[in-house]
């Protein structure tokens, strides 16, 4: 069995797009599957992914996203972003990628810790009940750094 020097991966999810949420989730889950500890700290727009009412409505941006190879004017038309998101979700489903809510359950059951950022939660006037039940708590950035205070820990900002 291969042994890794990476012991713990800490992710900071700061963006609220579908692809960024999946990037964090796939990496955090992948870490657990390799026997590496993982935690995600949701801040700013990343909080969209743990708000009960919003998490199933994350989108892929069609404006200002050159990788979609779509003229910006077109990307801004009504319905285009929804369509692109729908297509992306369909492709993900084909790969057996779980939807956001199920993915959060899997992460939590796998032992990945999920944290909300106190500052951002206050800023967006969110209450604990607005956020998913699986959330392990609300932390300040200082608390989160405290969780990084071990050898073999890596932090990744998404």
Considering only residues 26, 56, 77, 148, which one is a binding residue for other proteins as defined by CB under 8 A? 26
| Per-state percent for the chain, helix, strand, coil, to nearest 5 | 45, 20, 35
**For residue 87, what are its two tokens?**
């297509």
Instruction: Write the CB contacts of 28 (distance below 8 Å, at least 6 apart in sequence).
Output: 9, 11, 38, 39, 40, 107, 112
Please state, in angstroms and rounded to a whole number, the distance separating the CA atoms of residues 88 and 59.
Answer: 9
Nearer to other proteins, 75 or 98 (CB): 98
Considering only residues 7, 98, 135, 154, which one is a binding residue for other proteins as defined by CB under 8 A? 98
76 binds other proteins (CB under 8 A): no
Q: Please report, as residue ranges, which positions from 123 to 152 form the binding site for other proteins (by CB under 8 A).
A: none
In angstroms, give the least distance from the CB of 35 to other proteins: 4
**For residue 157, what are its two tokens?**
């900002």
Considering only residues 6, 30, 83, 148, which one is a binding residue for other proteins as defined by CB under 8 A? 30
Sites of contact with other proteins (CB under 8 A): 1-2, 26, 29-30, 32-35, 95-98, 102, 105-106, 109-111
């Amino acid at each position: 069995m291969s042994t890794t020097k990476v012991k713990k991966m800490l992710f900071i999810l700061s963006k609220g797009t579908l692809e960024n949420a999946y990037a964090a989730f796939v990496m955090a889950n992948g870490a657990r599957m390799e026997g590496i500890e993982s935690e995600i700290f949701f801040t700013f727009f990343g909080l969209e992914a743990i708000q009960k009412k919003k998490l199933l409505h994350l989108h892929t941006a069609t404006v200002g996203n050159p990788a979609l190879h779509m003229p910006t004017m077109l990307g801004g038309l009504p319905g285009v972003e929804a369509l692109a998101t729908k297509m992306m979700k369909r492709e993900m489903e084909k790969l057996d990628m779980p939807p956001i809510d199920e993915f959060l359950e899997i992460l939590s059951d796998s032992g990945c810790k999920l944290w909300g950022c106190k500052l951002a939660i206050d800023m967006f006037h969110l209450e604990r009940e607005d956020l998913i039940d699986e959330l392990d708590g609300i932390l300040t950035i200082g608390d989160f750094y405290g969780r990084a205070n071990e050898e073999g820990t890596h932090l990744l900002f998404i």
